[in-house]
Amino acid sequence: MGLLGRTWFEFTGWLAAVLLWLFFLQGQVNWWQPAVLWALFLLLYLVTRGCGAHPGALPFVAVLVFCGWIFLTRLDPSLGQGHFYGALLGSAFYLFGLFLPAPRLRFSRLWAWGAVVLLGLTALWGETVGGAKAWLTVCGLRFQPVELAKVFLVLYLGKGISQGRPLWELLSFVGSFLLLSAWQRDLGPAVLVLLVFSWLVLQHSFAWYKLLGLAGILLAGFWGAVQLFSHVQSRVLAWLAPWEYLDSKGYQVVQGLFALRAGGLVGQGLGQGLVHVIPQGHTDYIFAILGEELGFFGLCAVLLCYFSLAFWAVRLLQDLAGAEQLTGLGLTLLLHGQVFLVVGGILRLLPFSGMTLPFVSYGSTSLTVQFWMLGLMAGLSRGGGAERCAEPS
């Protein structure tokens, strides 16, 4: 049995134990949802391997998705059900990305215009939730366009930078994305996109003046956001001095730190944490809930899944070149940069960004788009990356 086969076998045993715990000790009756997801992940694994792509990311994504389902079900069964349906839709998008090689399509500027149009429509007719005008309803379907817009822009940047498009053109599209995000008061994705753009530019052609210029833009944007937006000021104050604002803007940060401290090395145990104390625990702060119930070692296991995904992606990128390599790098940075910003915010290493933890937090739009990104990466391996990532014996 190969390494990936053993990983899948071990994951199946872990999942069976968790399902027994849910059914007999917690009285949960939705045991069929993870059973369906297990079969679906196995199907995705077999389809991916059968079409010549490398399926190595799927076992780790399965662990993250099931971890999210378990804790969301603990918080509220309706949240777990939403996560379940988000994973089903995401699986369809994974196959869409796997078989439709978007990074290899022509007319890359259409991706950039698509990102700008999506954000423009949201700025004009979007709905405000949690202080950010980031939601749009079309034909009864409510979603977050910025999640799609991020990927659209990266698909454009990967090809645009590799083809030597003028800097003013790249900056105009990135600047439009940033300004529209600022208009919507949704600055987390703006920071993430700016970081990815900076990395791709420097990766393609490093120069000290570019590094200093991009750093200056980032610092100027941060200073401007603090001066112009009250919610950014609140997050900065909560980051710098949460104990002084314990009853207001610092409450979420402090409760997250309490939860991590209470978890210790091995955690309080599944079902033993005070999960309802942390505001927005199902989206923004689910990492703190994981820390309270699974402890330091459990969080390390979760982060190891993300590191394994990054390692899988880097192995694929080694056999790619040009636009495909830059696009794959951009997608990898988009996913793992979000993990860094979310975890760094909860640990108070950075101001909190308000984004979701990929594959774990509640949010159907973000979960679906993350599956699509994974499918795009797996699709790139069909062109040659799969040979280097061949399954060990």
- Whole-number Å distance between alpha carbons of 320 and 383: 8
- Looking at the predicted structure, is the pLDDT value of residue 135 above 50? yes
- Whole-number Å distance between alpha carbons of 218 and 195: 8
Provide mean pLDDT across the span 157-161: 93
Q: Residue 127 forms beta bridges with which residues?
A: 135
Q: Measure Cα distances from 6 to 1, 39, 391 in Å.
A: 6, 17, 11
pLDDT for 205 equals 87
| Average pLDDT across the chain, whole number | 85
- Whole-number Å distance between alpha carbons of 86 and 72: 13
Residue 257 corresponds to which tokens in the numbers above?
Answer: 């730190």
Q: Measure Cα distances from 316 to 2, 53, 277, 290 in Å.
A: 19, 10, 42, 30
The whole-model pTM stands at 0.91
Q: Which of 178-182, 263-267, 367-371, 385-389 has the highest mean pLDDT?
A: 367-371
What proportion of the chain, given as a percentage, has pLDDT over 90?
A: 40
Q: What is the pLDDT of residues 79-102, one digit of tens each?
A: 889 999 999 999 999 999 999 877
- Considering only CA atoms, give the Rg of the chain: 21
- Looking at the predicted structure, is the pLDDT value of residue 230 above 50? yes
Provide mean pLDDT across the span 174-199: 90
Q: How many residues does the chain have?
A: 393
pLDDT-derived band of residue 29, with 50, 70 and 90 as boundaries? low
Q: Is 336 exposed, middle or buried (0-12, 13-18, 19+ CB in 10 A)?
A: middle
Q: What sign has the CA pseudo-torsion 351, 354, 359, 362?
A: positive
- Whole-number Å distance between alpha carbons of 103 and 154: 9
